[in-house]
Structure 1
Amino acid sequence: MRRFLDRLYDTALWLSAITFGLIAVLVLLQILGRLADRIARLMSLPPPGLTIPSLAEFGGFLFAGAVFLGLAGTLQAGGHVRVKLVTRSLPDGAARWLGVFVALAAAALAGFATWSSGLQMADSLRFGAVSYGVVPIPLAIPQGAMTLGLALMCVALLDAAATAARGGTPAHDAAEARTGGPD
């Protein structure tokens, strides 16, 4: 199970990275199109008018997908900001159980957000909701990425809580210890 979850988190991180890469490619293509227009004007030629319609929407939806898909993997890597003022002053056992409680509370919030996002995605599918831009994008696509990312975050938080409750070291704490992250 551990190997499966780690691969799942890694896959989501790769999807997040690919999504950020797509944003960079789209913006680069738009910039090259504008440069081609300027060069054509300088040469007294008609500009080719190379543009990516709805680039802002594509970028926004891809960004949302990238952020949400990266949540679980970032938690596993110890990349989320955590404040440890209270846990540092507690004995180890109490700090561990407080960590379990906080992870479970965060999992409950992530579960609620997943449920809400899933309902919104289902409504978008049912009503055929699309974006308002030049290119109509089915809203269920970015909402699906968001829902998947939130669900994976919920799983990662439950994973961390279960690991800590069994006396183990959650992945985010182990990653912080390896990298000398915040204590």
Structure 2
Amino acid sequence: MIRRTLDLLYLAAGYLAGLFLIVIFGLMMLLSIGRQINLNVPSGDDFTAWSLVAMAFLGLAHTFKRGEMIRVGLLLERLHGRRRRGAELTALTVAAAFIAYFTWQAGRLAYDSWRFFDMSTGVISVPLWIPQSGMVVGLAILLVAIAEEWLIVARGGRPSYEPEPAQTTEELIERVAQGGGV
């Protein structure tokens, strides 16, 4: 039940990130074409920037869980058994600490924006806590994903972001050709 709920959460965040990517595309096209035909999109740059932030942060957990996030595994790849698990747990602990702090500070920023009625300065005035909340929600979901991975590794499991070892030579060649890990 929890596994399914978390998978749906990561997937929903990924789809939301994709939706914001479509919004960015639409706004950029409107802004570009609008310049040619004298059509002004009020605060179009602001909405595009806020959509970019929401897209980037909402996509983090989905990207992390699928193993698509850039990760330096030079040291971890050389370790095996308990040493590897210890190093993996250390890396996940450090990541969780940084993301927890980042989430807390971003949450405080959004809360202060809400508390002080902070508004954008563009043509269309928007309460700043609204675009800031995309960053906070994305970071919070990433923190949940990291904590889940920490539990998986602590229980002796293989991290979700680590691909299964290649079973055949053809599979190995295919992964290398696609730029994926071995």
TM-score in terms of structure 2 length: 0.87
Q: Which moved more, 1:11-20 or 1:133-142?
A: 133-142
Match of 1:182 in 2: 181
- Cα distance per residue 1:106-150 (max 9 Å; x no partner): 011111111101111110001111111111121101111100001
Does residue 164 of the first structure (1) align with residue 153 of the second (2)? yes
Following superposition of structure 1 onto structure 2, how do residues 17-166 of structure 1 map, counting pairs within 5 Å? Answer: 17-35=18-36, 37=37, 49-166=38-155
- RMSD of aligned Cα (Å): 1.8
Moved over 4 A (4+): 175-179
Q: Give distance in 2, aligned partners of 1:68 and 1:152.
A: 9
Pairwise CA distance, 1:30: 2.4
Query: What percentage of residue pairs aligned between the two structures are identical?
Result: 35
- 1:175 Cα deviation (Å)? 7.0
Q: Which blocks of at least 5 consecutive residues in structure 1 are unaligned?
A: 38-48
Aligned to 1:16: 17
**Aligned mates of 1:81, 1:176 — CA distance in 2:** 18
Q: Check the 8 A contact 2:163/2:181 in 1, yes or no.
A: no
Counterparts in 2 of 1:13 and 1:103: CA distance versus 1, 3 Å: same
**SS of residue in 2 equivalent to 1:102:** helix
In 1, the alpha carbon distance for the partners of 2:65 and 2:119 equals: 34
Listed one character per residue, the Cα deviations across residues 74-131 of structure 1 (whole Å, up to 9, x for unaligned) are 0011111111111122222211221112112101111111110111111000111111
**Which shows bigger deviation, 2-11 or 130-139?**
130-139
Return the alpha-carbon distance in structure 2 between the equivalents of residues 154 and 98 of structure 1. 19
Which residue of structure 1 lines up, in the alignment, with residue 6 of structure 2? 5
Structure 1 stretch 129-138 or stretch 3-12: which is displaced more?
129-138
Task: State the 1:176 CA deviation.
Answer: 8.6
The 1:82/1:176 distance shift into structure 2, 3 A limit, reads: farther
1:41 is aligned to: none
Contact in 1 for aligned 2:17/2:56 (Cα 8 Å) = yes
Largest Rg, 1 or 2: 1
1:77 touches 1:172 (CA, 8 Å); kept in 2? yes
User: How does the TM-score come out when normalised to structure 1?
Assistant: 0.87
Matches of 2:43 and 2:81 in 1, distance apart?
A: 53
Aligned AA (1:30) = L
Cα 1:53–1:114 shift into 2, 3 Å: same
Distance 2:110 2:164 in 1: 34
